[in-house]
Amino acid sequence: MVVQDQMKREIDIKNFPPNRILSLVPSITELLVELGLSEKIVGITKFCIHPEEIFKSKEKIGGTKNLNIEKIKTLQPDLIIGNKEENVKSQIEELEKLFPVWMSDVNTYEDALDMIQSIGKITNTENTAHQISTQINSAFEELKHSTYLLKNKRVLYLIWYQPYIAVANQTFIHNMLLKIGAINVLQNQNRYVEVDVETMQTLSIDYVLLSSEPFPFKEKHKEELQALLGNKTKVILVDGEVFSWYGVRMRHLPSYLRMLGESI
């Protein structure tokens, strides 16, 4: 089966449907399980922590950016699924000499739904993939007609500490902020931006969102930044997985926003 991945590369999946799948991306591992493919997963990264039973039982092949190529060779996958941003180009190029490697490239809500449908196609689980996509669309459609935290609010989404690094345009998280009706105060900048407290004070921010990943912001970081920014800006801790894991977790973002509003 010859297919095109999200990087417009042609992939020849000789054994279709694949019976030995290796995931290089945490959110895609979670998707594969939801597609009913748990038994076909032969390897995951050390960051593929959901669901817990898969994390405990499957072979680990290193981190997303430092794959153990030799261990992957021993697993003999007939399909590897990776991601343009999360994996290292040179390692992917090495792997694709040996195995079919399907690469995702997700920057928008629409890209994420396309990824779900495409993985459904290449794993022969199209009906289940369609159901997941429908659930996500329904959740976001319902959100349009409700009141919730962050709607029409100016937000700064921080992913790193010392220095503070924030999410700007041309990222999946930025697109998700747009999708929920928030205004990213860094929407005129690209990708990931270092920002200091003095700059934050000039941006008329309603909410600073401290993500749980990749830097694990805690209550002490929230209190520190809140003291520096004063009462006009509200600093809150948020679940980074809900905002950044493209895939099945997207369907939980609308309900998470409602819960977040009730908790602060």
Integer-rounded Cα Rg, in Å, for the chain is: 19
pLDDT of residue 29: 97
The distance of Cα 84 from the centroid of its chain, to the nearest Å, equals: 12
The pLDDT confidence band at residue 143, using thresholds 50, 70 and 90, is confident
Mean pLDDT along residues 65-85: 97
Q: What is the pLDDT of residue 260?
A: 83
Q: Taking residues 141-156, report their average pLDDT.
A: 88
Mean pLDDT of the 188-192 span: 94
Given a cut of 80, is residue 69 above it in pLDDT?
Answer: yes
Mean pLDDT, the chain, integer: 95
Taking the model in full, what pTM does it have? 0.92
Quick: pLDDT tens for 160-169.
Answer: 999 999 999 9
- The per-residue DSSP string of 35-93 comes to TT-GGGEEEE-TT--SSHHHHHHSEE-EETTEE-HHHHHHH--SEEEEETTTS-HHHHH
Give the DSSP letter of residue 169.
B
More confident site: 229 or 261: 229
Q: Which residue intervals of the chain are DSSP H helices?
A: 26-34, 52-57, 69-75, 89-95, 109-122, 126-143, 172-179, 197-200, 219-229, 240-244, 253-263
Reported as a pLDDT band with limits 50, 70 and 90, residue 142 is: confident
Residue 242 has pLDDT above 80, yes or no: yes
Which domains, and CATH codes, for the chain?
2-138 (3.40.50.1980), 154-263 (3.40.50.1980)
The C-alpha angle with vertex 34 and arms to 75 and 151, in degrees rounded to 5, equals 125
pLDDT for position 182: 94
Contact assessment for residue 106 and residue 220, using Cβ atoms and an 8 Å cutoff: no
Q: Is the pLDDT of residue 264 over 80?
A: no
Which residues face 246 on adjacent strands? none
Which residues are CB-contacts of 186 (< 8 A; sequence separation ≥ 6)? Answer: 156, 166, 167, 168, 169, 193, 195, 203
